[in-house]
Structure 1
Amino acid sequence: GAAYRCFCSPQRLQLLRRDALRRQQTPRYDNRCRHLTATEVAQKLSQGLDCVIRFRLERGVQPFQDLVYGWNKHEVAEVEGDPVILKGDGFPTYHLANVVDDHHMGITHVLRGTEWLASTSKHLLLYKALGWEPPQFGHLPLLLNKDGGKLSKRQGDIFLERFARDGFLPEALLDIVTNCGSGFAEKQMGRTLEELISQFEVGRITTHSALLDLEALPEFNRIHLTRHIENQGLRQKLVRELQGLVELVYGDQQVDPDVLEKEYVERVLLLRKGHISLLKNLVSSDYSYLWVRPLVSRQQLQTISAEVDKIGKLVLGLLTRPAAALTVEELNRELRKVQEQTRETKYSSMMQLLRLALSGQQHGPSVAEMMVTLGAEEVCGRIHRALSS
């Protein structure tokens, strides 16, 4: 038959290997047990000897057409010994398992790494021995690190769990992997799954390896996160995730319950879309003012401008209108007018003063955006507290 029992001990196989290496040859099994008679096999089994099942490799393999590499064939019988397909414990090796699994799952196209190209003729012999029609094979170029080294599962930073834990979206991972390889007419960031499907062409896959620059992943994620925020259904999921992150990061501080309200969290997302690469960016120290009121003294504000009271009064006057009427564009115009009513305070200094009063920070989004995000009532409260402290 196409398979046979092999009783060779690990010690004998090790000696074969050492002898081949000593002669500077590639180690291979010498197919010794292929020639055992039925009587010899029965005798060894009666003695309780351990065995494995090997597949009998035949010469004269048929060429196959790979979807990427074209016509190929590898005379595996000339370069290697008969492979083990069932181990001593009864478990199959990859060579048998992948053939059986793919057949019973009705797989029509096998797409795998190019390192398996040389094994395909062996797998086709297994399909032939089992009397099954083989699928089509396509071997894809390897993904390499930015420095040209092969990506490996031994590198802990390439596991999907790590990317999910860090907040990267599945769409962003799919986008960067397909963008760094081939199969498309041009490179393009931000493709949706539907666009990937419609634009992909097998004939455009190249045979050279692709460099995967994971430093670009945050930018890919920023694009897809923006899409999620703009989609009302997906945005609700982000709202819930952000609420959980706020409680996790700032739960031991005095967080006003209002900042966990859906309407407020949603407003934060909509105003910051396009500016963040990961949802967790919004709970970093740069955005702490969104969730926890800063401690800012009147004295700190006075070091920026002596007109702190006048500026505070004028800005508070802007906020008498309903919060819904506040827009970033309107506030930018009105804040310019406020500065024109001061005597000595430059516009940049006034923005610095207001940013400090509202966030306790020197950098961040525009003051107008901060005011719209926080809402009129919260802005007034923070300005009052800063002036009276």
Structure 2
Amino acid sequence: MSKVVTRFAPSPTGLMHVGGLRTALYNYLFAKSQKGKFNLRIDDTDRSRYLETAEDDILNNFKLFGLKHDNHLFRQSENIDTYQKFALELVENNKAYHCFCSTERLAKMRDEQRQRKQAPLYDRLCYKLPKEEVNKRLSQKESNVIRMYIPEAETIEFNDLIRGQVSFRTKEIDDQVLLKSDGFPTYHLANVIDDYKMGVTHVLRGEEWLSSTPKHILLYEYFGWRPPIFAHLPLLLNPDKSKLSKRVGDVAVTNYLERGYVPDALLNFVLLLGWNPGTDQEIFSLKEMIKIFDISKIHKAGAVFDLAKLDWMNGQYLRSMPFKKFKDLTEEIINQKYPSHKLDHNQVEAVLKLEQDRIEKLAEVGDDVGFFFTDDLVYKKSLLNWKKNKPSQTKEYLTELLNFIKALPAAKFKADKLEMAIKEFISNHSFGTGDVLWPMRVALTGLDKSPGPFEVAAILGRKKTLYRIEKAINMLWPTPR
């Protein structure tokens, strides 16, 4: 068996889509799992939509996700002469022809076909032109395109690695434009020529290209080349089963990274969009992906892009991340959100350790712990009362707690020792746990949901802890009669 060669060939017309990331990953994994070669090609022949920033985005993402290509980067725009040569070769062999039809005529033709409820296929007006007339119009530099000739009344069949045996009737296939009037090739011509010249053995691409495959197989036949093996990946779907489109929502890879998803988690997530290892394992490193990837386990059905699952998976990666790396990724976010905070380095580090166990996205860091970075807590004093406790009772519990904490030695002001000491204090006074810990939490954070009060107190330190509890007591006094 020949060495497996795959490729990822994006068009730089916009930011890289998560579907594109999945296609790149599957091509990479299949090649590497077979000890083959993975190529990157920039399909930049659509010059009207070309964006230099889009190409930069593709290359940056490849570096970020660790998808190393084995070839020298290839751009189709650097190979125009070759495409033109092959297009003219097809014309000479009667497998393609010059078309001089104006855009107005083509639009009118398709409109009339729609009214007659016919498929919008080119009517081959120019295919019927005498050779002399064609040569004359070419000599006069008349604008034209080159169309491939689709044979009539044939069936094109191929075996798709994911979908099995697939067939198309040629009478339903349009005479595809291969070379545009500006001399640039369309995707169909350039893609076939480049895949052949790069030695591509397997083409893994999105399902949307399935209907184009018979055209590509015909082109391989016209050139006398052996076609690659095709595998068309399932669509990515929204939760409502509509297609996940570039034109709907923030589906660019960059957008997910900016929202706080880490590259390893996003790559792991797209791996499972249409592929399953057949086990309960869900978290994979790139090396593990290469080891276990089996193309036969790609599904036919569309894969739902479940954002809640991505959130969960990202959280798993954040929690397993070495703290130093987590700190490096999040410390600047904290400083940007709270530029005037007065916490020292050790306090910020302690806050981040709490956050690492709680957040699901990097961008969330600091959102729920703003109470660490300001002393101006705003909350309703009624929040201080545990269940049906009256303000006078809450004031009594907090006052006793305040006096107890004042008497604690400095060595006790660590989370574990605070917890032990305060729970013993509660037990000795026959207080209910919630009677004390609930108002303590609210006094320190202004929230009903937060990290534990002992961890919070330890980070705030004795002075701020006492200040906030005393402030809460003052909010409860005088109590209404």
TM-score normalised over the length of structure 2 = 0.68
For residues 142-200 of structure 1, the C-alpha deviation after alignment (integer angstroms, 9 at most, x for no partner) is 12211121111111232223212211223333333333423421465433333333333
1:295 is displaced (CA, Å) by: 4.8
2:396 paired with 1:306: yes
CA contact (8 A) 2:146 2:179 kept: yes
State the partner residue of 1:91: 184
- Partner SS state of residue 283, structure 1: coil
2:448 paired with 1:353: no
Identity %: 34
Question: Which AA in structure 1 matches 2:204?
Answer: L
Distance 1:89 1:317, change over 3 A: farther
State the partner residue of 2:365: 282
Flag the structure with more relative contact order, 1 or 2, with Cα contacts below 8 A and sequence separation at least 6. Answer: 2
State the partner residue of 1:153: 246
2:425 paired with 1:338: yes
Of the three residues 125, 132, 139, the one matched with 2:232 is: 139
- Partner SS state of residue 450, structure 2: coil
State the partner residue of 2:83: none
Residues 111-130 of structure 1 correspond to what in structure 2 (within 5 A)? 111-130=204-223
CA contact (8 A) 2:326 2:356 kept: no
Q: In terms of mean alpha carbon deviation, does 302-311 or 29-38 score higher?
A: 302-311
Q: In terms of mean alpha carbon deviation, does 113-122 or 267-276 score higher?
A: 267-276
1:356 is displaced (CA, Å) by: 3.4
CA contact (8 A) 1:226 1:274 kept: yes
Of the three residues 448, 457, 464, the one matched with 1:382 is: 464
2:203 paired with 1:110: yes
1:317 is displaced (CA, Å) by: 4.6
TM-score normalised over the length of structure 1 = 0.83
1:52 is displaced (CA, Å) by: 0.6
State the partner residue of 1:246: 334
State the partner residue of 1:65: 159
State the partner residue of 1:362: 448
Of the three residues 408, 411, 419, the one matched with 1:321 is: 411
Q: Which runs of 4+ in 1 moved over 4 A?
A: 59-62, 294-297, 299-303, 316-319
Question: Which AA in structure 1 matches 2:464?
Answer: R
1:50 is displaced (CA, Å) by: 0.8
Alpha-carbon distance between aligned partners in 1 of 2:156 and 2:120, rounded to the nearest angstrom: 25
State the partner residue of 1:45: 138
Alpha-carbon distance between aligned partners in 2 of 1:295 and 1:22, rounded to the nearest angstrom: 68
Gaps of 5+ in 2: 1-92, 385-390, 472-481
Alpha-carbon distance between aligned partners in 2 of 1:295 and 1:48, rounded to the nearest angstrom: 77
1:294 is displaced (CA, Å) by: 4.4
Distance 1:319 1:245, change over 3 A: farther
Question: Which AA in structure 2 matches 1:347?
Answer: T
Alpha-carbon distance between aligned partners in 1 of 2:173 and 2:331, rounded to the nearest angstrom: 59
1:44 is displaced (CA, Å) by: 0.5
Question: Which AA in structure 1 matches 2:165?
Answer: W
For residues 105-138 of structure 1, the C-alpha deviation after alignment (integer angstroms, 9 at most, x for no partner) is 5443221222322221211222333454433210
2:301 paired with 1:213: no
Gaps of 5+ in 1: none
Alpha-carbon distance between aligned partners in 1 of 2:468 and 2:343, rounded to the nearest angstrom: 21
1:249 is displaced (CA, Å) by: 1.6
Alpha-carbon distance between aligned partners in 2 of 1:241 and 1:187, rounded to the nearest angstrom: 30
CA contact (8 A) 2:444 2:469 kept: no
CA contact (8 A) 2:319 2:357 kept: yes
Distance 1:165 1:104, change over 3 A: farther
1:68 is displaced (CA, Å) by: 0.7
Alpha-carbon distance between aligned partners in 1 of 2:231 and 2:308, rounded to the nearest angstrom: 29
2:324 paired with 1:271: no
Determine which structure has the larger helix proportion and give its number: 1
Alpha-carbon distance between aligned partners in 2 of 1:26 and 1:88, rounded to the nearest angstrom: 24
Alpha-carbon distance between aligned partners in 1 of 2:129 and 2:425, rounded to the nearest angstrom: 99
1:321 is displaced (CA, Å) by: 1.4
1:26 is displaced (CA, Å) by: 0.7
Query: What RMSD in Å do the two structures reach over aligned CA positions?
Result: 3.0
- Partner SS state of residue 25, structure 1: coil
State the partner residue of 1:75: 169
CA contact (8 A) 1:183 1:203 kept: no
